[in-house]
Amino acid sequence: MTDSSIAMKGGGYYSKNTQGAKHVIDRTGVHIIEELAKIDIRDDDRPFSIVDYGAADGGTSMGLVARIVKEIRDRSKSRQITVTYTDLPHNDFSALFRLMYDPEMGKDAFLLRYDDVYVSCSGTSFYSQIVPDCSVDIGFSATAMHWLSRLPGRIDDHVHAVGAVGNQWQTFCNQAQNDWQTILVKRARELVPGGMLVMANFCIDESGRYLGNTGGANMFDTFNALWKELAADGVISDAEYRATAFPQFYKTIEQFGMPFNEPDSAVSREGLRLKLMYTGVTKCPYRAEFDQVGDPVAFADAYVPTLRSWSEIVFFGGLDSSRPVEQRRKIVDQFYSNYNALVRKEPEKHAMDYVHTYLVAVKER
Ligand SMILES: C[S@@+](CC[C@H](N)C(=O)[O-])C[C@H]1O[C@@H](n2cnc3c(N)ncnc32)[C@H](O)[C@@H]1O
């Protein structure tokens, strides 16, 4: 599987269906504004550069970027500001620009509100260096770096590394550690001395919780059970079941910390220093609404699309490419419709709480 298997639905679908992601981003804003207060912002300096790595359609981080731009503008009337949104090449960057120029985004539409702010996009993966050395003041990323640079192997009896065991788990773990080091080294090179890297990444927390596994039904076990059921019913083949795996890994806080803790690591040698790291759970907004309103059908109909927005490409990609596209679409529709039926039946068991590691690192001056 190549990185073209990773894509969020386009046309603005992503940010409408991922309110939880916005809550996470808003939380990182506290740390960014705190660090920003320590940076000298002068009118006549080079452009101040903000980069959002793995931005999707940019909708979820627009409020945060607007806050940063306002903060800089309050302190300098004329400092030019660049905002670079990065994602994979097939990301829907046109949806991003439509949101940037959409007056309905209100106070978050920073391009419409402030002068001397320059937005551009890059379709280069965060596993490569994206911008020149020593050019980024604020590097930011949310809920993106659990996607590995490649699918490192198979998982025989599950669809996600959280359900892998033995050597198969180890293969994913090794890939994740190498990938993490690559990400940090590239970002360290891009940062200006004194620049900051602020990230919120999916993780396994100190209590063993992770996305969709905070009590009740485990979301990835549910994905696996439903996909396996399609194989048992002959809708998909056993080979297709076994070929399906998320190219993802959720690290623990210790694993996130490793490259920073070793003084001789490539990351330490690049001068990147960890300042803060902790884990936090963000409650599933769809489930919260169900708890208030109590309508299982409305919950299932809102909740399953948010799961689908980021996972369908993996299930679609697991299907044999010799099947006509229409047939593959129907199978995937059936899969999510089965998930929807489960949620309608026992809504109180389902929730996709987010579990993140929040991390602030600064490049030495
Ligand atoms: C769950 S979305 C997060 C979007 C946004 N940052 C947020 O928090 O709402 C993950 C994004 O990461 C992107 N992504 C995955 N692997 C990537 C890579 N190697 N380089 C750049 N972006 C990547 C995906 O295409 C997707 O848009």
DSSP calls for 153-199? S--TT-SSGGG--HHHHHHHHHHHHHHHHHHHHHHHHHEEEEEEEEE
The three-class DSSP label of residue 133 is: coil
The span from the CA of 148 to the CA of 2, in Å, is 10
Give the pLDDT of residue 143.
96
Expressed in angstroms and rounded, the spacing between residue 143 Cα and the centre of ligand 1 is 7
Ramachandran region, residue 143 (left: φ > 0; alpha: ψ -120 to 50; beta: rest): left
Q: What is the CATH number of the domain that holds 7?
A: 3.40.50.150
Strands 191-204 and 354-363 come out as antiparallel
Minimum CA distance residue for ligand 1 atom 16: 147
Give the predicted TM-score (pTM) of the model. Answer: 0.93
Number of domains in the chain: 1
CA distance 259 to 251: 13
Pocket lining: 143 vs ligand 1, CB cutoff 6 Å: yes
Ligand 1 proximity of 91 Cβ (cutoff 6 Å): yes
Nearest to 124 by CA among 151, 143, 149, 96: 149
Q: How far is the CA of 233 from the centre of ligand 1 (A)?
A: 34
User: Residue 17: its pLDDT value, please?
Assistant: 55
CA of 54 to the centre of ligand 1 (A): 3
Query: How many Å apart are CA 177 and CA 260, to the nearest integer?
Result: 12
The helix/strand/coil state of 139 is strand
To test ligand 1's pocket by mutation, which of 62, 91, 92, 282 has the most ligand atoms within 8 angstroms of CB?
91
Instruction: Count the neighbouring beta carbons within 10 Å of the beta carbon of residue 279.
Output: 18
In 19-115, alpha helices (H): 19-36, 62-75, 93-100, 110-113
Q: Are 129 and 182 in contact (CB under 8 A)?
A: no
Residue 51 Cβ inside 6 Å of ligand 1? The answer reads no
How long is the chain?
A: 365
Per-residue pLDDT of the chain (365 residues; tens, 9 = 90+): 334 444 444 444 444 456 788 889 999 999 999 999 999 998 878 999 999 999 999 999 999 999 999 999 999 999 999 999 999 999 999 999 999 999 988 899 999 999 999 999 999 999 999 999 999 999 999 999 999 999 999 999 999 999 999 999 999 999 999 999 999 999 999 999 999 999 999 999 999 999 999 999 999 999 999 999 999 999 999 999 999 999 999 999 999 999 999 999 999 999 999 999 999 999 998 999 999 999 999 999 999 998 998 899 999 999 999 999 999 999 999 999 999 999 999 999 999 999 999 999 999 98
Of the candidates 55, 82, 67, 77, the residue with the CA atom closest to the CA atom of residue 30: 67
Cβ–ligand 1 distance for 126 under 6 Å, the answer yes
* DSSP bridge partners of 147: 248
CA-nearest residue, atom 26 of ligand 1: 56
Ligand 1: residue whose CA is nearest its atom 18: 125
What separation in Å is there between the alpha carbon of 130 and the centre of ligand 1?
Answer: 14
Q: How far is CA 84 from CA 70, 189, 192, 255, in A?
A: 17, 16, 15, 28
Domain that holds residue 143: 3-363
> Residue 248: CB within 6 Å of ligand 1?
no
Q: Is the CB of 211 under 6 A from ligand 1?
A: no
Q: How far apart are CA 34 and CA 7, in angstroms?
A: 32
Span 252-298, pLDDT tens digits: 999 999 999 999 999 999 999 999 999 999 999 899 999 999 999 99
The verdict on the CB of residue 130 being under 6 Å from ligand 1 is: no
